[in-house]
Homo-oligomer: A and B are copies of this chain.
């Protein structure tokens, strides 16, 4: 057993595509959609070619249709693109989706059945039995499920998903510990930023000088189930969940970006526990994106932040462009084995950035050919 997580692939640096691959974004005017547009502006491999939104935006340019809310300027090329209707034929093979879950289920299936590779941030298909729920540092081998999916669809179309924003932080934070000792149970309480609810999702009157101990859409259920698939195995053409149990309690707090969470966990192999070894495994944690030097891969997926009072959302969320998860306060638990605090940038590593990294993995593995 190694104290760093290196996946069993032959390390080889990915070859960039010969020219930038044209991509479409579904739900491009929403808050995650805007992040896609922002992150794709200077992307070395992908080029924004099509934007798709609901009928309300039909006939407008993206510049007219999108109520741009990010703190960088809307890319000129994007602004000039005509907005296509959801359902319209697309030129692009690679399609990013940040559709609302009320429409994502059907629309993504539809495009996948038409032959598109849909890299989705929506929750609808995450738990499907042949859809990978990817964090490439952890389970890059789960892309093997695409083969089965393609058989079902009868073409090269497929859906690949990334986890819920909190789950990305949680699963990455515990991955080194799972590999070292095997996790048995885990209590997590999240303190989630308002941007996780989309631009208009949380009224200021609801959250100023306040905390809301609830997030709709089954947030706690997602946190309790998705990590088990992510840290599980793909074998014999099906996913086998990791065997641990999770209890999640979620809260909305008045921060802009960055989901912070306290974690308390018990392991199966209790006798081996060594806090220093865990800290080292966190800092040395690497995976396929680092091995292949994918463009959006952080150098260090996990940063152990020293200091009694870290990580903190405002100070630590932007490490490595928001693609790293920060961890701190690793210490024994008064009941279980370990306690820690983890932080993930919810709209970058927890949403659009995660999907883009997934697409990079697909390209590097030759699955967009």
Contacts and interface: CB of A to CB of B under 8 A. Distances in A.
Interface in A177-233: 185-187, 189, 191, 194-195, 199-214, 216, 224
Contacts of A211: 191, 253, 255, 260, 312-313
Contact of A204 (B186, B194, B249, B260): B194
A213 B251 contact: no
A128 to B, nearest CB: 22
Contact of A309 (B200, B213, B334): B213
Contacts of A260: 211, 213, 251
Interface in A310-364: 310-316, 318, 328-329, 333-336, 339, 341
B247 A335 contact: yes
A314 B247 contact: no
A283 to B, nearest CB: 14
Given A210-B255, A213-B311, A249 B195 contact: no
A254 interface: yes
Contacts of A328: 213
Given A69-B205, A194-B208, A205-B199, A249 B339 contact: yes
Given A213-B260, A309-B213, A251 B191 contact: yes
B209 A315 contact: no
Contact of A209 (B208, B212, B214): B208
Contacts of A256: 205, 208-209, 314
A262 B245 contact: no
A329 B264 contact: no
Which of A71, A187, A191, A254 has most B Cβ within 10 Å?
Answer: A187
Which bucket holds chain A's interface residue count? 35 or more
A301 B211 CA distance: 22
Q: How many copies are assembled?
A: 4
B194 A191 contact: no
A341 B194 contact: no
A208 B99 CA distance: 25
Nearest to A251: B191
A245 B335 contact: yes
A175 B251 CA distance: 24
A79 interface: no
Which of A201, A204, A213, A260 has most B Cβ within 10 Å?
Answer: A204
A245 B334 contact: yes
B248 A334 contact: yes
A276 interface: no
A321 to B, nearest CB: 12
A48 B213 CA distance: 33
A210 B314 contact: yes
A280 B246 CA distance: 28
Given A205-B202, A249-B341, A256-B205, A189 B309 contact: no
A308 interface: yes
A351 to B, nearest CB: 14
A251 B262 contact: yes
Interface in A97-130: none
B209 A209 contact: yes
Give the top 10 A-B pairs by smallest Cβ distance, nearest first.
A214-B309, A189-B189, A249-B262, A247-B334, A204-B204, A210-B314, A247-B335, A213-B341, A202-B204, A194-B204
